[in-house]
Amino acid sequence: MKHKYTVPAGWLLAVMLLLCVVPSVFGQVSSDGRKGNVIPTGVPFLLVSPDARSSGMGDAGVALEDDANATFWNPSKMVYMKSNSSFSASYCPWLRNLANDASISYLNFQAKTDERTAIGLSMRYFNLGKVDLADADNTSQGVYSPYEYAFDASVARSFGDNFSLGFTLRYISSHIFNSDANYKLQSGSSVGADVSLFYRNTFSSFGKESRFSFGTNISNIGSKISYDNTSGSQMFLPANLKLGIANTWVLDNENELTLAVDLNKLLVPTPPQTDSVGRIVKGKRTDVSVPASIFGSFTDAPGGFSEEFREINYSAGLEYGFNHRFFLRTGYFYENPDKGNRQYATFGVGYKYNFMDFNFSYLAASQQKTPLANTLRFSVAFNLGQH
């Protein structure tokens, strides 16, 4: 991402970078002229789907079985892996319509320690490209490469054959600023946690075997993050509630069809409506504690219950599997126009070869409406000790 800014324009640089991370902020005004109310957070890259399988299914994945990237979607699923351990790597060139050198990389390892317990380690790295810096006289001050990363450690425990719980501890580091002594800008860091649940069951439907699963993951519960060591201003982590179901129909020995649906809601305060002098007209204060923000996020929207409902994002996806080897996927993601207006279709393919999985996904959207258009993701997984 090649841009040139004067060093004092640190805040302008930060805004530009955050826009690149969260394309939803471009949708603050809907197509019919209504003014939106997008919820701001820090380090929103934590919500970006990293792997190609779920990304090919409209970003639905919290309830999908046999997931080599369970530490992101729902760590509880790790105990039901078909292999004893797995290692996966994913790569996504990010927002290539805006930048040619930004990317998101994801590494994940998960393993069973016994029949009822599994552990996982993962790392996400967001490379925001390069920024040329210059002073007020347009004299070069070098090049800065902003980046962010998160490191996760997860554990899951099953309670029988159908139910499991999971927990993740996360360290987050954000370096979107070039530290400037004059403007007191710095890198930010925080810690967070996820708690998750997974349930599955097998039953008969139309004389054929069906596998139903339900999952939920409350992610990024943690301390606020700050980039300014003078004003004390802080941003909430993108705490998020994800609920999902999935059902697989075994059509015959060679053909399976899976439907997955996810619902997502940020557990972060909604900005209130204010008058010309900053007094709250509708809604509630946002300078609250993290626990208060999580519980209050269901009732703080200035538009009442109808606006709370509009803050829910929907993901739906289909996966067709042939001979447990070839996979075709499609899906759709919907976000309300008042809350970001991300709406896109996705497509994906997958292939299993021996102990390896290869997956690819493509995001289809109008380039005029979203910089996410034509986003590609690539994933490879190595499954060791398969049952």
- pLDDT at residue 308 above 80? yes
CA dist 380 and 358 (Å) reads 5
| Range with the poorest average pLDDT among 91-95, 99-103, 176-180, 365-369 | 176-180
- pLDDT at residue 102 above 80? yes
* The pLDDT of residue 24: 43
* The pLDDT of residue 367: 74
* The pLDDT of residue 61: 94
**Confidence at 113, pLDDT banded by 50, 70, 90:** very high
User: How many angstroms separate the most distant Cα atoms in the chain?
Assistant: 76
- pLDDT at residue 226 above 90? no
- What Rg, from alpha-carbon coordinates, does the chain have? 21
Collapsing DSSP to helix, strand or coil, 121 comes out as strand
Bridge partners, 103 (sequence order): 93, 127
CA dist 45 and 53 (Å) reads 18
| Range with the poorest average pLDDT among 31-40, 164-173, 317-326 | 31-40
- pLDDT at residue 8 above 80? no
* The pLDDT of residue 138: 73
Max mean pLDDT among 19-33, 72-86, 132-146, 181-195 falls in: 72-86
User: Token pair of 41, please?
Assistant: 């957070």
33-41 average pLDDT score: 72
**Confidence at 12, pLDDT banded by 50, 70, 90:** very low
* The pLDDT of residue 122: 96
Global pTM value: 0.86
Domain 4-386 grouped into CATH 3.40.50.460: no
* The pLDDT of residue 190: 92
Strand ranges inside the chain, DSSP E: 4-6, 83-93, 103-112, 117-127, 131-134, 140-144, 147-158, 163-175, 188-205, 208-222, 240-250, 255-266, 273-274, 280-282, 312-322, 326-334, 343-353, 356-364, 376-386
Helix (H) or strand (E) holding 292: helix 290-296
CA dist 173 and 343 (Å) reads 29
Helix (H) or strand (E) holding 14: helix 10-21
**Confidence at 37, pLDDT banded by 50, 70, 90:** confident
Report domain extents, the chain: 4-386
* The pLDDT of residue 66: 82
**Confidence at 232, pLDDT banded by 50, 70, 90:** low
CA dist 115 and 239 (Å) reads 31
CA dist 387 and 379 (Å) reads 22
Q: pLDDT tens digits for 280-289?
A: 888 888 889 9
Distances from the Cα of 354 to the Cαs of 166, 254, 372, 382, in angstroms? 29, 17, 33, 9
